[in-house]
Structure 1
Amino acid sequence: MSVNIHFLGHAGFVLTAGKHTVVIDPFITGNPRCKAHVQDINATHIVLTHGHGDHFGNTIEIAERTGAIVLTVNEIAEYLGEKGLTKLEPMNPGGRVDTGFGYVALTQAFHSSSYDGRYMGMPAGAIIHLAGKTFYHTGDTGIFSDMKLIGEIYKPDVAMICAGDRFTMGPELAARAAEMIKPKIAIPIHFGTFGLLADEDTVRRGFKPDGVEVKLMKPGETFDLG
């Protein structure tokens, strides 16, 4: 079965295979590059890498409307429970949860995580195994040597790699990360949304990993992975 990959913009994605729709970091409202409308986003599962508003985004609204299961670090899950959500899978980096479509595992990420003035636990990357395909979303992070180990263990078909600089890796370091992870396809993310981040031209020039196909997606763009 193929997986449809829809880029929401910034770091958000919708992965769809059959009856399963996995939404990652649904920052829609307030995202100047997102062409989607939050009421049009359907989900069976939401994967949230950390608590910053440009990733947490519309998680609560989408989960309330769709009944989606939210998979995220323990502290965020506790917060979401306080807000009335009940379909929660608390996790932490190193852990894995089996789902109806495959599994979600969390990896380490070097960043920070807070929401509404509250500490939201460790930031994370996410491994999503859906319809026989494996996706690695780095979350927000600097480069780290265990990206090579993550690539060896999970062998991702697609890696979504932050490349906007200042708060995460810039494009050149993101390219080095892609070379360590060795996905079939690397998609740079987390750039061009706000003025402090690298723009699309800078990422296009700098994100050139050796031996890895690069797909620089525009918000709203989709493709099928067969």
Structure 2
Amino acid sequence: MQIKLTFHGQSCFQLDDGTNSLLIDPFFTDNPVAKISASAVECTHIAITHGHFDHFADCEAIAKANNATVFAAYEICEYLGEQGHDICEPGNPGGRIEASFGAISFTQAFHSSSYKGRYMGMPCGLMIEFGGAMLYHAGDTSLFSDMELLGQMYQPDIAMFPIGDRFTMGPEMASAAAEMIGAGTSIPMHYNTWPPIEVDVARFAPRDMDVMVMEPGDSVDLTPEDSAE
């Protein structure tokens, strides 16, 4: 099965296998680097790492427009239900939820989570089983030692790490995180969207690992061979 991975800027990615389309941390409307509008997005599922606006602001509109199932912390799902979208799969760190594309496991992340002044539950990372591939989306987080355990348990093929500093890890800490997770390919995210998180992406340089720098709007095809490596 061929899988297309698209980067929409900041921490927003999309996985598509022709039947299922999973959108992660949708952020288009106020995203200065996004190449498409929220109204143009088509998806079957949405996954949210936490409630900050640059990960969640477009979730409600896109979910309603696409009748999409949302995977998120309990409090985020509760909020969406109050807004009239109750097609949600709530979870928390340690939990795994099966889906038509595979499964999502919620992992630990060290950050905060709120939206318009409202507490939105614990921030999470995501281990995503999609069409035979295992992908790790770290969400917004600092470096933490249990990343090594996550790498051993889930053995992801591809991993995405925030590198923009200030609100998350910077490039050097993210490089250490990538080495601990041990994915075959690591992708930087959450950087160069605004001046406070501008960094030189070349500083993200985990040792003896492949780094794939994606520009907003870029897509790559993943194959079963990629997943097995």
Which TM bucket (shorter chain)?
A: over 0.9
Matched residue count: 223
Tell whether 2:31 aligns with 1:5: no
Q: TM-score, normalised by structure 1?
A: 0.97
Identity of aligned residues (%): 48
Amino acid at match of 1:100: S
Tell whether 2:14 aligns with 1:14: yes
Give the SS at the match of 1:196: helix
Deviation at 1:86, TM superposition (A): 1.5
Give the SS at the match of 1:97: strand
Name the CA distance, whole Å, in 2 between partners of 1:118 and 1:86. Answer: 18
In structure 1, the residue matched to 2:145 is 145
Unaligned residue ranges in structure 2 (runs of 5+): 224-229
Amino acid at match of 2:213: L
In structure 2, the residue matched to 1:24 is 24
Tell whether 2:167 aligns with 1:170: no
Tell whether 2:202 aligns with 1:213: no
Deviation at 1:175, TM superposition (A): 0.4
Tell whether 2:89 aligns with 1:89: yes
User: Structure 1: which 4+ aligned runs deviate by more than 3 Å?
Assistant: none
- Which structure 2 residues correspond to residues 67-86 of structure 1 after superposition, within 5 A? 67-86=67-86
Deviation at 1:196, TM superposition (A): 0.5
In structure 1, the residue matched to 2:190 is 190
Unaligned residue ranges in structure 1 (runs of 5+): none
In structure 2, the residue matched to 1:135 is 135
Name the CA distance, whole Å, in 2 between partners of 1:132 and 1:92. Answer: 23
Name the CA distance, whole Å, in 1 between partners of 2:74 and 2:86. Answer: 14
Q: Is the 8 A contact 1:51 1:114 kept in 2?
A: yes
In structure 1, the residue matched to 2:160 is 160
Give the SS at the match of 1:193: coil
Name the CA distance, whole Å, in 2 between partners of 1:4 and 1:100. Answer: 16
In structure 2, the residue matched to 1:203 is 201
Q: Is the 8 A contact 1:67 1:87 kept in 2?
A: yes
- Which structure 2 residues correspond to residues 27-106 of structure 1 after superposition, within 5 A? 27-106=27-106
Deviation at 1:100, TM superposition (A): 0.9
CA deviation profile, 1:144-197 (whole Å, cap 9, x unmatched)? 011111111111111010100000000011000000001111000000001100
Q: Is the 8 A contact 2:77 2:86 kept in 1?
A: no
In structure 1, the residue matched to 2:226 is none
Q: Is the 8 A contact 2:140 2:168 kept in 1?
A: yes
Deviation at 1:57, TM superposition (A): 2.2
Q: Is the 8 A contact 2:137 2:159 kept in 1?
A: yes
Amino acid at match of 2:161: I
CA deviation profile, 1:23-78 (whole Å, cap 9, x unmatched)? 00000000001111212211111000000000002100110000100000011110
Name the CA distance, whole Å, in 1 between partners of 2:183 and 2:198. Answer: 23
Q: Is the 8 A contact 1:112 1:123 kept in 2?
A: yes
Name the CA distance, whole Å, in 1 between partners of 2:181 and 2:172. Answer: 14
Amino acid at match of 2:201: V
RMSD: 0.7
